[in-house]
Amino acid sequence: MPPKKKTVKNAYYFFMEKYRDDRNRKNPNNPISIKDAASLCSPLWQAMSPEEKKVYEDIAKKEKLRIKGMEVKFTTTGLIVSDVERKEREHQEYVRSMKEEIRNMVVELNLTDLLERKFYFIHVNHFCHCDNGDYIPAEVGVACFSLKCGVDDFYHSMVAPGNLPIGYTYKAQKHSTETHGIPIPPSEIGENDFVKLFMDIYGFVKKGSVGEGKPIVFTLNEFEPCVSIFLEKISNAAGYEAKQFKVYDFVTLFFELRNKAASFSGSEGFPVYCLAETEIETDSFAYTKEICCYWHEGSEAPQYCSLSRARRWGFHIADHCSRDLDVTLIPGRHLPSTDKYWNDTPVETYYMPRHSRKKAANKAVPSGDASSVASSSSFQPLRQPKSMGVAVSQVLSKEDGPPSLDSDAFPPIGRRIGANFNRAS
């Protein structure tokens, strides 16, 4: 007689076992069998979330491997090594196809489409990053950018996420103090209606997006988890199971746009991705005050504002691509409109190679004075735009000083879509 084949228990079976054991422990005088548990567990199992079921699915998976006689290796945190490796492979494949999609998106554009195509940049500030991977959102900023018009529209809102998870008050306060400075919950600042946040952001991004699929938003790699989780939360709130946005790498877009622009003028683009990355890391427009939200405008840390981050990524692209495409720069949209930025531009400094400009910039900044370093950071000669020649001749045709912003084209942030939060007094 052949040996009896071992039955492989499934996730539901392990749930029933646990239910039976828990119940029998509480009622030792009236124990139930696994058969009794089966009828009681069915509705409970149906009502469980995918995360709750996953606990039992993992147990079943481990058991299946054990029966198969395979040696299962675990990481130090108790995860199955083969699972971790598979996820890593899937992630690499995802990154590869995302980069290819961005490349195709840019490479196919003719000059007119390249200038007019709208791209959306997003940043989300958080109060804390929880041990389970969750992020508690604090602020969201989205910038709409095209090479022709710069950042000509944006969305911003503070977010009121409800109470912080228990035990995270200190962490949230510390993170806030060290970065964005937004008062931690429960404060009255921000939008607490996540359905409204979804409708506003989806509507804003979808408006200028091409195609029928999910709209694409770009952010830096380091912010992707927080952005993705936030977008998933608001999508869920609006009744969708998965997030209704594609979150793509901003640096890849920057890299591709720079090279595409260079292909029109025959100039040198970015030979490698990491150069684009380094350029973004310099974050040279960080101290541009005029591009942050109403709340951060009066704060000591405007550089952490989500809106400022999203808008200045547009400045980086304009800085590197406008000259090749002969774009007329618009102050405040392609580059900071700050008076000093558009004046005091030593032409010889501008035409210096970048490393020499950096030395010149370092000399120009007096050392030991923190406030002057901060206030001069956005005006370093190093950072004069590559298209300054075009800008000066076409935009500053008047001799009477810097261009002023038209108040209709640039209404105060407080009047913009979504910026209906209350400012802290």
Residues contributing to the site for Zn ion (CB under 5 A)? 293, 296, 305
Nearer to Zn ion, 176 or 322 (CB): 176
By the 8 A CB rule, do 280 and 251 touch? yes
Nearer to Zn ion, 216 or 305 (CB): 305
* Other CB atoms within 10 Å distance of the CB of residue 76: 5
Least separation in angstroms between residue 23's CB and Zn ion is 52
Least separation in angstroms between residue 302's CB and Zn ion is 8
Nearer to Zn ion, 20 or 296 (CB): 296
Least separation in angstroms between residue 345's CB and Zn ion is 29
* Alpha helices (H) along 117-223: 169-178, 194-208
Round to whole Å and give the CA distance between 272 and 21: 59
Round to whole Å and give the CA distance between 61 and 8: 10
CA angle 189/195/197 to nearest 5° reads 50
Exposed/middle/buried for 400, CB within 10 Å: 0-12, 13-18, 19+? exposed
Q: Which of 288, 274, 286, 283 is nearest to 340 (CA)?
A: 288
Round to whole Å and give the CA distance between 28 and 276: 67
Least separation in angstroms between residue 298's CB and Zn ion is 10
Least separation in angstroms between residue 306's CB and Zn ion is 6
Nearer to Zn ion, 388 or 413 (CB): 413
Peptide bond into 186 cis (omega under 30): yes
Least separation in angstroms between residue 139's CB and Zn ion is 5
Nearer to Zn ion, 189 or 216 (CB): 189
Round to whole Å and give the CA distance between 264 and 256: 13
* Other CB atoms within 10 Å distance of the CB of residue 39: 10
Q: Partners of 124 in the beta sheet?
A: 140
Least separation in angstroms between residue 186's CB and Zn ion is 19
Round to whole Å and give the CA distance between 389 and 186: 50
Which residues have a Cβ under 8 Å from the Cβ of 419 and sit 6 or more positions away?
A: 156, 157, 293, 294, 413
Nearer to Zn ion, 305 or 310 (CB): 305
3-state DSSP assignment of residue 53: helix
Least separation in angstroms between residue 135's CB and Zn ion is 17
Least separation in angstroms between residue 333's CB and Zn ion is 18
Nearer to Zn ion, 190 or 269 (CB): 190
Q: Name the token pair of 328.
A: 């007329």
Angle between helices 11-26 and 34-47 (to 10 degrees): 110
Q: Name the token pair of 159.
A: 């977010």
Round to whole Å and give the CA distance between 309 and 145: 13
Nearer to Zn ion, 255 or 421 (CB): 421
Least separation in angstroms between residue 304's CB and Zn ion is 8
Q: Name the token pair of 203.
A: 């509507």
Nearer to Zn ion, 58 or 283 (CB): 283
Nearer to Zn ion, 305 or 352 (CB): 305
Q: Name the token pair of 310.
A: 């999203």
Length of the chain: 425
